Structure formats: structure tokens, C-alpha cells
Amino acid sequence: MADISSNFLGIKSPNPFWLASAPPTDKKLNVLRAFEAGWGGVVWKTLGTQVKNVSSRYSAVDYHGSRVMGFNNIELISDRPLDINLREIKEVLKEFPDRAMIISLMADNSRESWHELIKKVQDTGAHGLELNFGCPHGMTERGMGAAVGQDPEIARMVVEWVMEIAEIPVITKLTPNVHSVVPTGLASVQAGTNALSLINTIQSVTGIDLDTFVPNPNVAGKSAFGGYCGPAVKPIALKMLATIAQNETTRRVPISGIGGISTWKDAVEFMLLGASNVQVCTAAMKHGFRIVEDMCEGLNYWMEDKGFNTLNDFIGKSVPALTNWEDLDINYHIVANINQDKCIHCGLCYIACEDTSHQSIALDYGKPYNKYSIKEEECVGCNLCKLVCPVDDCITMVEQRKGDEYLNWKDFQRLGLPLNDH
């Protein structure tokens, strides 16, 4: 058995799976159920000045028969009284002392407010704080949430206020509603945050009801921009995570990865790109807390298969494999190969290549089954056919280097090598 226990800024948890600050962590009842199910930690739903929420609050994007591929919410921070939240946090800490308890915070925009809130929260015995600089809806209209995270200087100021009083580790949560997460991440690290977490939700309109013409979610005939999350945002989150993991300054603090993580595989990918642990929300909201069982087991088996004993053995392992485009090897060349024994003659590779790519697949008409084969001399090795093929390992990409030596675009230009002639 591999050791999947996690140590994030000294905050220990039996596994690296935390529930993100969101509806699943907004009260004792949920959090107890989560810990009973096996979650390693929670980030308690954001505390601040008590708010009032609306109904409805969520909407989703379904894709090709799959529900909730993307998820959207217009819920604000905790709408429960602060003292009840604080009491419940204490009670949960007592029942589950081995789990991580982080409290998400969004105080009003003053040093005093932040100090006052942090003092109260630290009194509960919680293990860490997460600063919500990312909430993209509602709170931003009040100059909070993403409004802070979108301006590196405001973020720097707030982090400095927080660090003046914080006695427990501070994680700053970044908003993706910026052209780059690095400036705010950098400002936060320079201001002393102990860690970063990302991403928060992405501003969105998930869709419009074609009968009522009202965008989703519908609140009495009106809607508002919401925060998008779920599997659909994972690639965007991974990219943003990578930029933080690559930056010389921001990479020095631990990162908690968030954004569409539904399975142990998703979690491993975030960790390979530099996340020390991960936070989950949408997948739990879709399936319940029980998903953590397979997350732990799957991670464990994968680590065993790969010979990793601890999480640190692979955290950040894929970061060096991301480089600039101009450093990629132009001499590397692959061409597609169709395994005729596996081919089911659906023609998806053909029509994708013929209509939208490089006309590199030959079609030999048959009734009812056509035969498809690769025109190797035309194939640019784009992967499209392999991606659309419904049969595992039917289309493989075979290496046919154009030259033995590594050759990048800069060298290519310097040597005056010829471009395509058609």
C-alpha cells in the first residue's frame, strides 16, 4: 500500500482530497457526513457578513446525454449566522481531529473587518484559512470576492492585513476571471500568503431556456452571471495551475488544486502539475460524498503501479514537460495507423480528416462496410483521427522522425530551412 496521507503547510489529512468551500461544506451536518465518507479535509463555506440567497441558484450544461458536464451557481457566501458556523466548526473539529479544517473567509473591505473575523475563526481551533478572492458573482458587486482577486494591488493589501494577525496557515484562493492568474498570485505570495489555491469559478451564462427566453438559472424571470465549474473547466484550471507552478516565485508556496476534479485521475493530473492536494465540489454535488472511496483507492493502486510511496514522489512531476511552443522538436513526426482488425468501419476518422484536416485517409467503398487506410505521405500527425475513433487502440500514431537531431522553431528559422510548399 502506498501512503496517500497529505501534509499541506503542516496541516495533515489522511488523503489529499478536501471538499472545496461551497454548499457541501456549509454546515456541521454535511461536513460530518463528508468525514464519515472519508474525505481528508474541508474548506468550510466562506464566512463573512451574513448574506441572503435567492432561489433558484444552480444551472448546468449537459453534453451528449451526460448530465452536469459543467455547473454554474449564483449562490453567495454563507447565509447562516456567523456564531452558529463557528460553534459547528468547533464541534466538528472535536469529532474528527484527524481531518483538515480550513475556513474560507471574505470579510468586508477593511483591515478591522478582516482582523475581527480572523480572530473569531482562529478561536475555533481550525487548522488554516483560505481567503476567498475569487467568488465571481454577487459579492463582486459589493467590491469583494473576485473584485479583490482581479486587482493584484488590492489583493496584496488584503493579504498583508491578514498576515498581520494570522496565527494559522493562510491560503489565498485565486480567481480565473483574469487574463493571467500570475500577477495576483505573485502579489499574494509577496504579501506573505503561505499557499495558493486555484481556480475559483469562471463567470458564465450556462444557457437560455428556449421556451421562456430567460437564461439559466431562472430567478423570477431574470438571471445573473454565475460561476462555472465542473468537468468542463478542468483544462482551463490545469493551465492556470501550470502557470503558477512555473513561476519562480509562486511555485515556492504549496498549491491546492481546484477545478472540475471528479476522479482520482483528475486529482493525479493536478498533482503532476504542481498541486500538493486537491479540492472537489461539483462531483460531490452530483454524486454525493461516496465518490471519495474510489478516489482514495484509485490513487493508491496507481501509486503502487508506478512505484510511488508518497504523494511528494510525484507532485509537480509533469511541470518540466510543459514548455514554450518554440522549444518543441519540429523533427518529431508521427503518422496515423489504422489497425484493420480492430476497425469497425464507422468512417468517423475519414470524415473528420477529409472535411476538416489534411485529407490523409483513403476510402475504399464497400457494402455495407467501407475500408479506410492512412495516406502516410499526407498525414501530418495531428491526432484528430485517433481522437474521434470509438475503438481503443484501433488508430495509433507511429513515429517517423523527419531527422535524427532535435530541431526547434528558432533553429529552423536560423538555418533557413524550407516551409511547406503546398
Give the active site residues: 135
The 52-81 contact track toward another protein, x by CB under 8 A, reads ------------xx----------------
Residue with smaller CB distance to another protein, 221 or 390: 390
393 is a contact residue toward another protein (CB under 8 A): no
Paired sense of beta strands 17-19 and 66-73, if any? unpaired
Within residues 171-190, the interface with another protein by CB under 8 A covers: none
Within residues 121-140, the interface with another protein by CB under 8 A covers: none
What DSSP assignment string belongs to 334-389? Answer: EEEEE-TTT-----HHHHHHHHHS---EEEE--SS--EEEE-TTT----SHHHHH-
Within residues 23-52, the interface with another protein by CB under 8 A covers: none
> 60 pairs with which residues across the strands?
71
Amino acid identity at 180: S
Contact stretch for another protein (CB under 8 A) within 71-79, 108-116, 233-241, 344-352: 344-352
CA distance 110 to 123: 20
- Cα distances from 178 to residues 28, 53, 174, 395, in angstroms, run 34, 26, 10, 39
Who's near 261: CB < 8 A, 6+ residues apart? 234, 267, 270, 278, 279, 280, 283
Give the one residue of 51, 93, 351, 382 binding another protein; rule: CB under 8 A: 351
357 is a contact residue toward another protein (CB under 8 A): no
Residue with smaller CB distance to another protein, 328 or 363: 363
Give the one residue of 224, 327, 369, 403 binding another protein; rule: CB under 8 A: 369
CA distance 107 to 326: 44
Closest CA to 85 of 40, 117, 108: 117
Least Å distance between CB 335 and another protein? 21
Give the one residue of 221, 307, 320, 390 binding another protein; rule: CB under 8 A: 390
406 is a contact residue toward another protein (CB under 8 A): no
> Where do contacts with another protein occur on this chain (CB under 8 A)?
64-65, 344-348, 350-351, 363, 365, 367-370, 390-391
